[in-house]
Structure 1
């Protein structure tokens, strides 16, 4: 129980409806000064809706809020900021033409300082927090995780008491998460409070002072991080069931080549040669700007290759567009929302059903049933298959994109950060669907900055650095620390033998 004098923010009886759906029901929440609340729950539980109401993006339909003892009822994000509440929403956007220095000081008194002074101070801040970004760089040239770092530094200069952080580490690697946590902890030590949403339950436990569990629009439980039972315990509180322990995929016996890449180059990718085998999940990871996402985009026809050869089943391919990739049996799930071929005006059915010119009514009906079954399997919180994608939670929109690409009858499926913003139960289903692809002889390229995900679900792991393929390692005995060290360019030593823990350059085929 919080001391009443220590409470910064409170809600009582807060409610919000989206159409006929109760998104928030009787939310009563107190947040102490300097406290970080970890807010968890499955997709569609109401987490982002709650932050949007507190942050001024949505108006509440009932209930009250107080901030620092005074009534609080913002009608916009700008009004919330003026009252002392700052947000980084899940779908935040940036002005691509602004520089990093412009962004950091955009809403502070430093905005009137000379550009040279702002650049110098911004560079000092970035360096102090271990962020390797040029203060004069354009926001449009930064990766999403870098934009998050810059936006979080901007919050440092806003005179805010309450910080609302929604899935800010969704595509971040372990080092970036550490930096973001350092900045967040520094802000709370200044007396600010925060609400932090993430589906990475281990980081919720490590960062939070309290963990609040939401279910179907209600606050279901509160957990003390030290007594939560770790990620497994938090997951149980969310879903009320235990998850089976993960067993890493074994090495393939007598691997048969499926996709062969020879000396492929593209924007951000130096000459790379590798093979994806039938029935294999090849994990691809690296630090920011390592080229791992760019490689996936090159295979999928988004980042058009400038040289090199791709062969599928021994047949040379010409891939100049995503349509070429799909036509040749390669499906590609982009890591950016606006490039996944789905708009907020689409319905779930229209977004996921592939065109079937000349198909019979029976065939169309069969495909529709498959779409509905996939939606049910992924537990998408919606009224029905004809609901607009824009009405869904961010995580459920991600699931619709996954359903679209996992249903394509492709021989090779390239998944770029497929579980970003997806809850633990749905991740389990995604991994099951990946296993179904490999079981029928297809190949999967799993691109992720989440090294735990890569280790848990790949037969082999390819590590990239500065656009180059460092090596491909058998997933036997690898650890996250090893992956980080290799990705950073440090040779990992095992025991006192001086040998690298993973075998060297003989695993590319």
Structure 2
């Protein structure tokens, strides 16, 4: 195994034994074990709800376990808060970055412990220290740049630099590649390997199975809050899936094509000054049209404009023969258009509300009479859809924030099923959810198209686009640069179009 390459079978730097954590009505962890050796990448694998997030929150001091113990360098430790974890050399990079957007990169890297001179913050020294950290992770960023101006990939590198500033010996990375392009992933992996070779131990959480053999040394599999097994990182993907979900998955992309009907959505000459230009396509009943392209190609911006969330300067959107007014979400919904946004927590859900309330969000206005909402009718409809989608929950009264990522995504899609949306725009529909939940989402897409719905699916996951689409639209720099049949098309074919050097959107 690669973990033994240079470091031998060293004693564990960190060891968790029999960890247990119980929340009201839910056993999140029930005897979980994890060992971490110096200078290895240890992949933590499991479905949404398997206990991965709870485990890393215990190790980072966000939660206290109800049972079990954690040892560092062979000595039991009591991690009561984030400060305790930091003093032990444990740093965590969450999917939602822990950076202050209004502060500069240097200020973020020195947050809470800025260098001082004569009692004042030594800005020049702070920026020199920041530059050294940024050079170490290979990112060319001016330390004086506000974090709000950085893209996702550079924010990730700043988070890694921040962990190194704390002299982290253990780095926990939660879905670090979820929003990165292929090129950005390659750069991240270079940094991860460099840190591993320097003796840093890394816990790496990912839902992208193809990444495991490339970057990992060992894998611990969690299922239903328990440790299932520990296996080498080169274990075949089919076996990893079986261990993770408890059953074999015959088809990762079970697309079932159906006969296409009339065009339910027509977009003609859509343009927004400086963002996208002359975008024209249609989606027919019974088909899935995939939209591919690099980050920044304009895919999400077009989807939001079509749905009326953002205005556009030129062109038209027609749903079932009805031309929609620009920037009118209500008109789009009335016409039978639905949007599942890429940011499900920020834009697709009310996290403090329960499952029933979230499933009824879209239809609440229609269910209101004389100022009163038909809550009984809403609840019946919610119960029907929740059962149809197999949402795993304690009941309709469970807060959405406590559901796993895959079940949250089902709720976001489910509210449009309650509303009977005929055309559904799915923006990154499976980002951050495990392979088992992905297949359930794909089967739902099949059911939608089989019943005559139309689906426009935007995804940065090329295998997903190829596996679940009937046709593929490719965007680059705000323009639609090509259309490909999914059958017979390769990832290289899509990428050749995605990197097309086209003129950007023209000012109107």
Q: Quote the residue 1:478 is aligned against.
A: 489
- Residue from 54, 61, 81 that aligns with 1:56: 61
The 3 A distance-change label for structure 1 pair 315 and 450 is same
Q: Pairwise CA RMSD of aligned residues?
A: 3.0
TM-score (norm 2): 0.86
The 3 A distance-change label for structure 1 pair 257 and 398 is closer
Q: Quote the residue 2:21 is aligned against.
A: 16
The 3 A distance-change label for structure 1 pair 397 and 78 is farther
Matched, 1:159 2:173: no
Matched, 1:256 2:262: yes
Q: Tell me if the contact between 2:345 and 2:351 (Cα under 8 Å) persists in the aligned partners.
A: no
Distance, in Å, in 2 between the alignment partners of 1:390 and 1:324 is: 29
Q: Quote the residue 2:118 is aligned against.
A: none
Q: Tell me if the contact between 1:319 and 1:325 (Cα under 8 Å) persists in the aligned partners.
A: no
- Residue from 290, 301, 304 that aligns with 2:308: 301
Unaligned runs of 5+ in 1: 492-509
Distance, in Å, in 1 between the alignment partners of 2:45 and 2:271 is: 41
1:229 positional shift: 1.5
Aligned pairs for 1:27-38 (under 5 A) are 27-38=32-43
Count residues in correspondence.
Answer: 483
The 3 A distance-change label for structure 1 pair 407 and 158 is farther
Q: Tell me if the contact between 1:44 and 1:393 (Cα under 8 Å) persists in the aligned partners.
A: yes
The 3 A distance-change label for structure 1 pair 286 and 159 is same
Distance, in Å, in 1 between the alignment partners of 2:497 and 2:145 is: 27
Matched, 1:465 2:465: no
The 3 A distance-change label for structure 1 pair 387 and 73 is same
Q: Quote the residue 1:440 is aligned against.
A: 451
Q: Quote the residue 1:456 is aligned against.
A: 467
Q: Tell me if the contact between 1:285 and 1:461 (Cα under 8 Å) persists in the aligned partners.
A: yes
For the residue of structure 1 that corresponds to 2:264, the secondary structure is: strand
Bigger shift: residues 141-150 or 74-83: 141-150
TM-score (norm 1): 0.86
Q: Quote the residue 1:75 is aligned against.
A: 80
Aligned pairs for 1:36-51 (under 5 A) are 36-51=41-56
Distance, in Å, in 2 between the alignment partners of 1:319 and 1:57 is: 44
For the residue of structure 1 that corresponds to 2:332, the secondary structure is: helix
1:118 positional shift: 6.5
Distance, in Å, in 1 between the alignment partners of 2:453 and 2:236 is: 37
Q: Tell me if the contact between 1:173 and 1:451 (Cα under 8 Å) persists in the aligned partners.
A: no
Q: Tell me if the contact between 2:474 and 2:481 (Cα under 8 Å) persists in the aligned partners.
A: yes
Bigger shift: residues 90-99 or 302-311: 90-99
1:18 positional shift: 1.2
Matched, 1:193 2:198: no
1:146 positional shift: 4.5
Unaligned runs of 5+ in 2: 116-120, 503-508
The 3 A distance-change label for structure 1 pair 469 and 153 is farther
Q: Tell me if the contact between 2:288 and 2:455 (Cα under 8 Å) persists in the aligned partners.
A: yes
Q: Quote the residue 1:283 is aligned against.
A: 290
For the residue of structure 2 that corresponds to 1:7, the secondary structure is: coil
Distance, in Å, in 1 between the alignment partners of 2:246 and 2:178 is: 24
1:364 positional shift: 4.3
Matched, 1:205 2:213: yes
